[in-house]
Amino acid sequence: MNADLFTALARPVAHDALVVLTLDAAAAPLEALLSAPIAGERLLWDSGEAAWAFAGVGQACRLVASGPRRTASLMEQAQGVFHRMVERSELHADLPRPRFFGGLAFHPQALHDEPWSAFGDASFVVPRWLYGRRGKRAFLRLALRADELGATTRVNDELSHINAALWSTKRHCGVRAMDITEMPRDTWDHLVTDALAAIRAGTFEKVVLARRSALRSKVAFDLAQGLTRLRALEPSCVRFAFEEGRTAFFGATPERLVAKHGVLLETEALAGSIARSDDDDDGARECLLASDKDRREHAFVLDGIRSALESMCRHLEVANEPVVRTLRNVHHLATPVRGHLCRPGHILELVDALHPTPAVAGLPRSAACAWIVAKEPCERGWYAGPVGWFDEGGDGAFVVALRSAVVRGLEAWVYAGAGIVEGSNAGHEYAETSLKQATMLSALGGLP
């Protein structure tokens, strides 16, 4: 065992303390930690660029909440945990502070339908082991309850497994055969027809419909393998993974919900899509920018963000025109938004104000959400919900859990959605959701 770790474990602390110890580590792919043979749920957070990325296994502390006041409950619980946290990381003062990772369901309600029964309405953890990496720098962090500090043999064994995993050169397999069951076209067509009727009746101006495809393979799906593929398929997206028991939810989303540091925030409107064209990609971008239907859909989202944040900010900076963001299969309209908050507050307050945006629910929000819950044939669970992290100061980052899938053993479920406004066509929207699902099908090994 590392001598510094052994010494830190031997120091006495209060009986209810949560002790956090940090060690230097070798730089390795994040997914390597997820392959270590250690008991406990796994997680991953990788926003790319020059930011710190994280992989975790096990849990030292968990927060759970439910209902309309779930974010308030999470903040109150987290404050108590941070108050009793003891950091033993004096030589690593410039490293990221301890934080909770997790997410919230799209709609605040108990989750009963498969594959979501293992996931709560809101759940966040401080991982037992956390591996952090930024470029060539890396660290390993262990969080233990005070009553676990004497279990040095277990810690030593786990540390050996982690070191072996980080240095492993294991390679993953390629394309696999699988059976895919999609939502029937007539079910989707009826759903879109009902949505357009509700729009014309004045129930809402926009609603976002989601559908899922069920997959079955003869070989168990591998979370680390899927995440590795996503890094290659969508390098500009935020990768995430959260595991509950034997079930894992993961994806690579293009949509930031909100990031906060002190009184500064960043968010964006992302709505309006068109398939990429092999023949004339510039033409596809121009077509998207000129599309009245997509510009209206995008404007709904931007107006919703403005409305949610204006009372909380001294200043909002919004770009005059959207830009086109290009992903593997689709182009999106995107408008960045930056703001200066009236007070520092907590990022979960911003999550509560923004979620769900018109990009994943509709406008007006309450009417669209009520319609979605009543009409969609499959429970969304954490799909299109906020996932991310927050620290003791209330800073953090959250994304909208899109381009995602759930895996459990031989089974997987892939999700995608499309915004419905006046002028939407059921066939076109079904094709759009197929394009969006293609990334996850590739990540799972069903497509090259």
Active-site residue list: 206, 255
Structure tokens at 265: 């925030």
> Are residues 177 and 217 in contact, defined by beta-carbon separation less than 8 angstroms?
yes
40's CB contacts (< 8 A; 6+ apart) are: 57, 58, 59, 128
Q: Alpha-carbon dihedral of residues 104, 109, 112, 114, nearest 10 degrees?
A: -40
Strands (E), 3-95: 18-24, 42-46, 53-57, 61-65, 85-88
Q: Which of 268, 167, 193, 181 is nearest to 217 (CA)?
A: 181
Listed residue (359, 336, 329, 324) closest to 234, CA to CA: 329
Amino acid at 351: V
Helix and strand numbers, DSSP H then E, in the chain? 11, 23
User: Could you tell me the two tokens for 414?
Assistant: 């892939």
Pair of tokens at residue 190: 């009826």
Give CA–CA dist 103/255, Å, rounded: 15
**Within 10 Å of residue 93's Cβ, how many Cβ atoms?**
9
Length of the chain in terms of residues written? 448
DSSP code per residue over 306-367:
HHHHGGGEEEEEE-SS-EEEE-SSEEEEEEEEEEEESS---HHHHHHHHSSPTTTSEESHHH
Rg (CA), the chain: 22
